[in-house]
Structure 1
Amino acid sequence: MDAQIVSKGEFAKMIAVSPGRVSQMISSGMIGADALIGEGRTARIHAALALSQIKSRRDIGQALGNGLGTRLGETATAPADFGQQPPADDEPRVLGTEDLIKLERLAMERRRNRQAEEDDARRRGELMETKQARAEMTRMATSMLQSFEGALPDFATALAAKFELPQRDLLHELRRSFVAFRAAAAEREAKRAAGLPSHREAVVTKGEFTS
């Protein structure tokens, strides 16, 4: 068998990425149809051509964002092996196949680290989904309003004794004012919540919300 015709799994090992990442490269067009032999899950890869395509189509913007930015020269065909001599000091730095593989591995490692950090923070209670935060804040606000509403008869009794007014009339007026306030507050909160982003953000530390 031609040594340059390999399976997706073999190609993944060759460039030190996961088989899933190879499938993503194929789906995104980074590895073109002309570098594939066969179709579907059993398709095999022309290694040299695929490496050349990865080199020429790699998003250099992502590479720069990952902190390993270098200048990408004109598209060149992939070498038979991954070894390349470093350019002379007075030559522009060109990303070779080995550089691209390192960039891809670094990007994958950073994604794994970021996910691990988020998972760890979530376990410690330092991260909360915005949806969860909204629900928790709503629960707290509802609990506070219910407590306040339950105290209205006591307020009415105290005011009636102080100003010598009927407790029943005072309670009726307090409840009417409270209902109007609650409706206005609910409308303001709905408008504020609509402006919250839907992504994850650090909104509460462990133990801040207690029942």
Structure 2
Amino acid sequence: MTETTMTKGEYAARRGVTPARISQYIADGKIGPSALKGEGRSARIIVEIADRHLAQRLDASQALGANGAMSRAVNETPQPDRPAPHPPAGCDGDLQRRPAGVAETETEAALRVAAQEKAEQAKLLTAKMRRQEALETGRYILAADARAQIARATSAAFRVMEAGIRNMAADLAAQFELSEAEVSHALVKSFRAVRERAAADFKAQAEALPEHVEDGEEVDDGEASQ
């Protein structure tokens, strides 16, 4: 005979109770391990065995329907249990699902919102602690220090290039029989225009840095500038 299996939420809807009640049945042993297929959150209910366990193990007030007979999930609708409070965010996914038609109460809604806010605060605190740890271990450096490093490296590179222009002017003047002073003046003027544009770009990049940056990133920038 082929076994019929359902998730906790599906089986709860079938019996007219909440998923939380099904989980409680499992925890109390009213639905035994032989009625479960799989483990943990992914476990599924073997319908035939679970029905038999509940028929045998529920007390009369839980098991008897309005007509005084044993509730049978296959052919009869059981008496619904009182809905359990909605679990906070982060609990078992099956426990968060509600049977169709069961409305969330104001208290449950408030608890759910409070749990979500608490989870978000915990996430922010964890991220802050990780950044602080990275800063203390030297993996992060302050953006102000990074900007200073970029400025120093860029200035040093520009000084080297400007000094090289004079040698370039002398070579060009000798090769094309031109005035060294005029060639040097033209090259320096052109280079300074390039330098101003590059300096503006570097400044914009430095100002865009976050409060903390990876130490390795700044090493790369320094090496690239040189």
Q: TM-score range by the shorter chain?
A: 0.3 to 0.5
Bigger radius of gyration among the two? 2
What is the TM-score of this pair, normalised by structure 1? 0.43
What is the TM-score of this pair, normalised by structure 2? 0.41
